[in-house]
Chains A and B, each alone.
Chain A
Amino acid sequence: MATKNSRTFDFKDVESLEVFMTSHGKIHPAKRTGLRAREQRRLKRAIKYARFLSLIPFVS
């Protein structure tokens, strides 16, 4: 369950996910995204779901 201030990510929202990715399709590290560990894990999962559904590429 997401707390009040924590951020959630939806795998269907491709545009917001691409903000946290490089042009080659890699996920930015937490140091760069500025997310907390739990949020970074949520981001990672959402991106991997989107990749599986071919919404975003694995590599480009």
Chain B
Amino acid sequence: MTENTHIYQAMFLLDNEEVRKGFNASRDWVKTTLEKYGIEVKVLRLWGERQLAYPIGRRKRATYLLGWLQASGDSINEVKRELYLLGPVFRCLFLLEDEIPADELATGIQVIADSEIIIPEDMEEPDFEEPYTEPEEEQRATDDKPDAEEDEEGKEGKAGGKAGGKAGGKAKPVVSVAKTKVPKAAAADSSTADEVNTDGN
């Protein structure tokens, strides 16, 4: 390659599921991919395994791989395309630098035994909370109506005061609440609304 080459610092985010199969295999895949495009890998080492600040896809944790490379600008653009398409890398960053620090250069290509890397499992959290049910409304439906009418009664009760007026005799509590202008907090609780209405009459 006759083009001018520059020093780059690179950071790769590796999928933990791939790293669990073997860190060295993932690191070697990155190295061979870079070298395929004429990039000279000076340093490639494990930077850390940590929780992501925000989830990327379904991933909440990732393994960070730090590299120092000597490459041309064109080869960086080409290798990025392949890194994102295949393999364990799901995000990478290349930065142009002036020189490689001496302490980094001493590290070289880091080899770590797979048993030394302990990757914790992602903590599974429930995606949705359980839907809220109004216990008193259910109780009233079971007390007053037979089983076939329970569902209809519940639906009309949830529709609120506006729809309740046209619904007929089934929505009596809602209509009575609208006439007496009970506050919203009290109207939500249908049992208390009935009490207010009876007191008023």
Binding site for B on A (CB under 8 A): 1, 12, 49, 51-58
Contacts and interface: CB of A to CB of B under 8 A. Distances in A.
A55 B47 CA distance: 12
B53 A55 contact: yes
Given A49-B93, A53-B93, 10 more contacts: A12-B11, A52-B91, A52-B93, A53-B64, A53-B91, A54-B13, A54-B52, A54-B53, A54-B62, A56-B53
Nearest to A25: B53
Contacts of B66: 12
Q: Taking chain A's interface residues, is the majority helix, strand, or loop, or is none over half, making it mixed? A: loop
B93 A58 contact: no
Given A54-B13, A56-B53, A58-B54, A12 B47 contact: yes
B53 A49 contact: no
B95 interface: yes
Contacts of B11: 12, 53
Interface in B32-70: 47, 52-54, 56, 62, 64, 66
A51 B91 CA distance: 12
Interface residues of B, number: 14
Interface of B: 11, 13, 47, 52-54, 56, 62, 64, 66, 91, 93, 95, 98
A49 B52 contact: no
A-B pairs, 8 with minimum CB distance: A54-B52, A57-B53, A54-B53, A56-B53, A57-B54, A54-B54, A53-B11, A53-B93
9 contacts: A1-B98, A12-B11, A49-B93, A51-B53, A53-B64, A53-B91, A54-B53, A56-B53, A57-B53
A53 B13 contact: yes
A55 B11 CA distance: 12
A49 B66 CA distance: 14
A54 B137 CA distance: 46
Contacts of A51: 53
